[in-house]
Structure 1
Amino acid sequence: MALDRRTFLNRSAATGAGVALAGAAAAPAEAHGKEKPVPAPKTYSFSVLGTTDLHGHVFNWDYFTNAEYTDTAQNDVGLAKISTLVNQVRKEKGCHRTLLIDAGDIIQGTQLSYYYARVDPITGTDGKRGPKHPMALAMNHMGYDAAALGNHEFNYGIPTLRKFQQQINFPLLGANALDAKTLKPAFPPYTVKRIKVPHGPDIKVGILGLTNPGIAIWDKSNVQGQMTFPGLVDQAKIFVPKLRSLGCDVVILTDHSGLDGGTSYGDALPYPENASSDVAAQVPGIDAILVGHTHKEVPSRTVTNTETGRTVVLSEPYMWGMRLSVFDFALELKKGRWEVTSVTADVLNANSAAEDPEVVKLVKAEHDAVVAYVNQVIGTSKVAMSSTESTYKDTPIIDLVNRVQTDTVKAGLAGTAYASLPVLSEASCFSRTGAIPAGDVTLRDVAGLYIYENTLDARLLTGAQVRDYLEFTAAYYVQTPADAVIDVAKLTNANSRWDYTYDMVSGVSYEIDIAQPEGSRIKNLTYGGAALDDSAQFVLAVNNYRANGGSNYPHVAAATSVWSSSDEIRNTIIAWVKANGTIDPTAFASVDWKLTRDGTPVF
């Protein structure tokens, strides 16, 4: 088994072999009782390994299916497999020639991470000390050097994030995560690592961390008045020169911000969501960027800095620990200082590795506790339901989510001035593999319908605004002529819109004519059997991501909030199933919307 870094350093110190990352250079050889001068090397190389968007994945396990993770591309997931890849690279290149970093979104995403935030929280309960986070256990063992803050780090609130920060042995970096009162970084903006070169000067590597400005929108309830998030370019222009002034020979950024592309929150913020390429092009002095946030695999991309003409190498490994980015740096010693002569990047596939038995051993008890938790039976269902067709058909499984949200908002509005208003609800197909079986229903079955930690809000909209909302969501479909053959695999995700950006609205009835251009697709929009009154008022049940501007839906972010809850929608659905005991689609399922072409139903 490959040595981890601490074992390597300890053995090096004990035997005098090797060169430790922070230790002294090996003693020069002696001949005839006299030391022979050893010239300083003229070149040197080292590697930076990177992960991103781990989202609580330690094992190659799917807690929603209660089986090993699998997909059509034969991907594997989890830090246990990444750890094996890291050990292999360290063995090949030398522990003293590698650094390991992450680009954020660590502590949210699986039932494993949820359990240690909400069920047995790391912050503790009733005055008792909480457990150690499974991601902290795994990442500390692997010897991470630094990680950037991701936007999902804030989903469970700042206290949970701060406790995780205390539990890890490496810094969480966020140069653009500022204290709202002092406007100073609320987390370390950077860290500097020294790589010892035998008989030569140290290589000083500056690692700068940047996160996503969208946190101010997506987790507004958790950060408002406490933290603010300026743009990546602005903060990089402050701290990259700072790192160079500290004598850093190499500057690498770890950014929780996509390479480029659109901004999901439109003009709600003056800072772009996906800005890594902008940073590379506009901020001199950067050698490489580890990219995160967009869940894409980009082994290597180069961007030319407009001021210096130098190229910056960027790499984004695939999400959930499916890939490991490897940046290889070559340096040359010039006038006593190291200069980068080349940077290359590529990714390694986790499906080629076995799970590291040390990581498995470290986190097994936590994993077993979560498996038992998610497999508890909480109700029964009269029929089986699936989300397989939910992106193009009105299905009972989405109707269930909308029914729970509608009931919850109606109960919340009781006794208020808004109690008499009709309540509509939006829901998305977050997973095309979501399923409720006939018979016993477990917690994991229900949790699989809502994989995000969203909470519920209720916004006041007019009929005209509801129509605009539906036109916006209808742009999810590819425009398809009436005489064209329908291929459901190519029908959705127009304009690079992911499934979670597509909303199905209950409480009204409507058709989406996919033969029409965007903005003119909603037909036969009715409420209560009559044409929708544009001046009428409605309450729309929305998740907090939408309510705060996520996906840039019209009107919602600016609309009046008439009710909200701090409980996750997932928990609300679980509680509804427990309270009702039986899931009977005949009580809530109906076909409220359908796809048409020139008035003819598609399905």
Structure 2
Amino acid sequence: MKKDITILITSDIHGYIFPTHYRDRSDQPLGLAKLATYIKKKRSAGNVLLLDNGDLIQGSPLTYYHSKYHRDTENPVIKVANALGYHSAVFGNHEFNYGLDYLRSVVEQSEFPWLSANVINEQTGKPAYGKPYRIHEIEGVKIAVLGITTHFVPNWEDPNHIKGLKFGDALETAKVWVAKIRKEENPDVMVVSYHGGFERDLDTGEPTERLTRENQGYQMCQEIKGLDILITGHQHRSLAGKVNGVTIVQPSNHGQKLGEIQISLFQEGDRYKIDSSSSQLIEVANLTTNKDLQELIADFEDQTQQWLDTPIGEVEGDLSITDPLETRLKDTPFIEFINKVQMDATGVDISNTSLFNNDSPGFGQKVTMRDIVSNYVYPNTLSVIRITGQDVKDALEQSASYFNVVDGKITVNPSFMEPKPQHYNYDMWEGIEYELNVSNPVGERVTKLNYQGQSIDENKEYEVVMNNYRAGGAGNFDMYIGKPLVKEIPIDMTELIANYLLDRKTIQATCNHNWKVVQ
């Protein structure tokens, strides 16, 4: 007897339910409410397993608003996920951003299990808050789904948000559990749902980025015996195909695409065996919005939109951004403003920050919460670390690798664009004076570096404020790893920016031109 089963996968939804990016109210090709149209249609036609691969509950203004002001109420994202009938979800790294109390509430409200075999309770040594795996039976076919989370979470997360947890190596944990599940459960289909991605080319195995073991998907396909399906995420890439005979998928982010895996099985005795499997990506652009799903949280969405339009302050001067590349080539009022907020919050006189993506519009004359969250898109807090002048120089050299010179023009290094844009890994500083000559070889681009009018002392220590993500060394800033933590500000930057504006009512756009990039 033949059986056909469909697995539908979402990943990195980041709280985007409605088809909006929240910078305005325009309809955009994204969001779980659009994907729901295809999910419901597919479910009505056959055997469907619906899985989420992590980073579900954090990342949009709606989730931020809930976590900050309404965390004791029903979680709108989980309300939608319950209505859609997810079979399971995996903990992504961003599930921990709002703290463990919030995460416990999410797990308790969910009508589906959360999975991760390598997020471990330090005291018990067992998987924390969720289960390692789940067995799904669909018309006699036994499907095992093992959850695995990227073990790099401690590199980024506020330690208070993961207190009492440890994160086992994703690849090694998956090996152990797949063997255990195969032996004890004897499933017909073995799925690993891994909130992580690939550091190697899927066809050649050649490194596509620095090999950090953050994204071990390729190795999983090569080294895990008995693996049939590998679901990936975390990198926000659009991938479908096979690696070493293992069917893989990665369905982008923000609900822009849906992963679909088709499995055809035949019966042999009392078991089913896979005859064939394939994967594809469903484009949300071709789907209409499911109104019933929207209606579930329409009131809370309206509250979020009203909150976003709340005026915070006014600007005298120009804090707009018209050209993101130009913004990264020389000091501008907007970047200087963000650094000033960071220095004001921490009381130090050296700061760095990023222009996180190319969609940041800067501020107009009147600033609302919508303007703030449109520009500062991550739930970062601030850390002050003590580093040497040599560390400052090394960090500037790392940032300078963001640029290439092609045909006499400064361009962005492709390594910061593939496999996903990483504009957030280029930092701009306030409190020092520096010049980067990007015609020089990588590693020799810092041609000027002063502090208070004098050449910086490479052996002297300086206190520098930056976001918590960077302070942990993320983005290949290894020079920060293990450096003394002087101070933490456990308030999200969006709130710090809002408070800065509320306290002053009107701010001046200033620019001291303390740095530039030349060729």
- What range is the shorter-chain TM-score in? over 0.9
> For 2:15, which of 51, 56, 71 is the aligned residue?
56
Q: Is 1:274 aligned to 2:215, yes or no? A: yes
Deviations along 1:466-496, whole A, 9 cap, x unmatched?
1111111111112x27xx3326577893786
Aligned to 1:35: none
What is the one-letter code of the residue matched to 2:165?
A: M
User: In the superposition, relative to structure 1, how do residues 443 and 494 fare at CA in structure 2: closer, same or farther (>3 Å)?
Assistant: closer
Q: Is 1:134 aligned to 2:76, yes or no? A: yes
Distance, in Å, in 2 between the alignment partners of 1:524 and 1:219 is 33
Alignment of 1:117-516 (within 5 A): 117-121=67-71, 124=72, 131-186=73-128, 187-196=130-139, 202-244=140-182, 245-261=184-200, 272-300=213-241, 302-304=242-244, 311-387=245-321, 388-389=323-324, 390-410=327-347, 423-478=349-404, 480=405, 484-486=407-409, 488=411, 493=416, 498-516=422-440
Task: Give the drift of 1:330.
Answer: 0.7
Task: Give the drift of 1:259.
Answer: 2.3
Aligned to 1:5: none
User: In the superposition, relative to structure 1, how do residues 512 and 448 fare at CA in structure 2: closer, same or farther (>3 Å)?
Assistant: same
User: In the superposition, relative to structure 1, how do residues 80 and 178 fare at CA in structure 2: closer, same or farther (>3 Å)?
Assistant: same
CA contact (8 A) 1:329 1:340 kept: yes
What is the one-letter code of the residue matched to 1:486?
A: K
Aligned to 1:596: 518
User: In the superposition, relative to structure 1, how do residues 462 and 489 fare at CA in structure 2: closer, same or farther (>3 Å)?
Assistant: closer
Distance, in Å, in 2 between the alignment partners of 1:491 and 1:297 is 17
Aligned to 1:10: none
| Secondary structure of the corresponding residue to residue 525 of structure 1 | strand
Aligned to 1:46: 5
Deviations along 1:438-478, whole A, 9 cap, x unmatched?
43211111222211111111011121221111111111112
Distance, in Å, in 1 between the alignment partners of 2:474 and 2:251 is 24
Between 1:486-495 and 1:363-372, the stretch displaced more is 486-495
Distance, in Å, in 2 between the alignment partners of 1:470 and 1:528 is 17
What is the one-letter code of the residue matched to 1:460?
A: R
| Secondary structure of the corresponding residue to residue 442 of structure 2 | coil
Aligned to 1:77: 30
Distance, in Å, in 2 between the alignment partners of 1:352 and 1:249 is 33
Distance, in Å, in 2 between the alignment partners of 1:55 and 1:511 is 37
What is the one-letter code of the residue matched to 2:229?
A: A
User: In the superposition, relative to structure 1, how do residues 341 and 60 fare at CA in structure 2: closer, same or farther (>3 Å)?
Assistant: same
Task: Give the drift of 1:398.
Answer: 1.1
What is the one-letter code of the residue matched to 1:314?
A: I
Task: Give the drift of 1:549.
Answer: 2.2
User: In the superposition, relative to structure 1, how do residues 557 and 158 fare at CA in structure 2: closer, same or farther (>3 Å)?
Assistant: same
Task: Give the drift of 1:535.
Answer: 2.6
Deviations along 1:253-292, whole A, 9 cap, x unmatched?
111001234799987xxxx210122112111111111111
Deviations along 1:292-313, whole A, 9 cap, x unmatched?
100110122x122xxxxxx111
CA contact (8 A) 2:379 2:493 kept: yes
Task: Give the drift of 1:108.
Answer: 0.9
Aligned to 1:534: 458
| Secondary structure of the corresponding residue to residue 293 of structure 1 | coil
Distance, in Å, in 2 between the alignment partners of 1:182 and 1:263 is 38
CA contact (8 A) 2:51 2:88 kept: yes
Gapped runs of 5+ residues in structure 1?
1-41, 71-75, 125-130, 197-201, 305-310, 411-421, 598-603
Distance, in Å, in 1 between the alignment partners of 2:455 and 2:363 is 37
Q: What is the Cα-based RMSD across aligned positions, in Å?
A: 2.0
Aligned to 1:67: 25
Distance, in Å, in 2 between the alignment partners of 1:69 and 1:522 is 44
Task: Give the drift of 1:342.
Answer: 0.9
| Secondary structure of the corresponding residue to residue 517 of structure 2 | strand
Task: Give the drift of 1:374.
Answer: 1.1
Task: Give the drift of 1:536.
Answer: 2.8
Aligned residue pairs total: 507
User: In the superposition, relative to structure 1, how do residues 258 and 488 fare at CA in structure 2: closer, same or farther (>3 Å)?
Assistant: same
Aligned to 1:27: none
Distance, in Å, in 1 between the alignment partners of 2:192 and 2:294 is 30
For normalisation by structure 2, the TM-score amounts to 0.93
What is the one-letter code of the residue matched to 2:33?
A: A
What is the one-letter code of the residue matched to 2:194?
A: D
Q: Percent identity?
A: 29
Deviations along 1:143-165, whole A, 9 cap, x unmatched?
11111110000001111011011
CA contact (8 A) 1:100 1:143 kept: yes
Q: Which has the larger radius of gyration?
A: 1
Task: Give the drift of 1:530.
Answer: 2.2
Distance, in Å, in 2 between the alignment partners of 1:349 and 1:544 is 34
| Secondary structure of the corresponding residue to residue 430 of structure 1 | coil
What is the one-letter code of the residue matched to 2:319?
A: M
What is the one-letter code of the residue matched to 1:391?
A: R
Distance, in Å, in 2 between the alignment partners of 1:149 and 1:509 is 42
Between 1:353-362 and 1:225-234, the stretch displaced more is 225-234
Aligned to 1:584: 508
Task: Give the drift of 1:585.
Answer: 1.0
User: In the superposition, relative to structure 1, how do residues 459 and 264 fare at CA in structure 2: closer, same or farther (>3 Å)?
Assistant: farther
Distance, in Å, in 1 between the alignment partners of 2:512 and 2:504 is 19
User: In the superposition, relative to structure 1, how do residues 495 and 86 fare at CA in structure 2: closer, same or farther (>3 Å)?
Assistant: closer
User: In the superposition, relative to structure 1, how do residues 67 and 384 fare at CA in structure 2: closer, same or farther (>3 Å)?
Assistant: farther
| Secondary structure of the corresponding residue to residue 339 of structure 1 | strand
What is the one-letter code of the residue matched to 1:284?
A: K
For normalisation by structure 1, the TM-score amounts to 0.81
What is the one-letter code of the residue matched to 1:569?
A: M
What is the one-letter code of the residue matched to 1:383?
A: G
Distance, in Å, in 1 between the alignment partners of 2:199 and 2:365 is 46
User: In the superposition, relative to structure 1, how do residues 224 and 320 fare at CA in structure 2: closer, same or farther (>3 Å)?
Assistant: closer
User: In the superposition, relative to structure 1, how do residues 535 and 260 fare at CA in structure 2: closer, same or farther (>3 Å)?
Assistant: closer
Distance, in Å, in 1 between the alignment partners of 2:12 and 2:472 is 22
CA contact (8 A) 1:546 1:557 kept: no
User: In the superposition, relative to structure 1, how do residues 549 and 210 fare at CA in structure 2: closer, same or farther (>3 Å)?
Assistant: same
Distance, in Å, in 2 between the alignment partners of 1:241 and 1:524 is 56
What is the one-letter code of the residue matched to 2:311?
A: V
| Secondary structure of the corresponding residue to residue 551 of structure 1 | coil
User: In the superposition, relative to structure 1, how do residues 393 and 491 fare at CA in structure 2: closer, same or farther (>3 Å)?
Assistant: farther
| Secondary structure of the corresponding residue to residue 295 of structure 1 | coil
Distance, in Å, in 2 between the alignment partners of 1:222 and 1:386 is 35
CA contact (8 A) 1:264 1:552 kept: no
User: In the superposition, relative to structure 1, how do residues 494 and 437 fare at CA in structure 2: closer, same or farther (>3 Å)?
Assistant: closer
User: In the superposition, relative to structure 1, how do residues 546 and 211 fare at CA in structure 2: closer, same or farther (>3 Å)?
Assistant: same
Distance, in Å, in 2 between the alignment partners of 1:241 and 1:402 is 50
Deviations along 1:570-593, whole A, 9 cap, x unmatched?
21111001111112113xx22122
CA contact (8 A) 1:298 1:317 kept: yes
Distance, in Å, in 2 between the alignment partners of 1:561 and 1:454 is 16
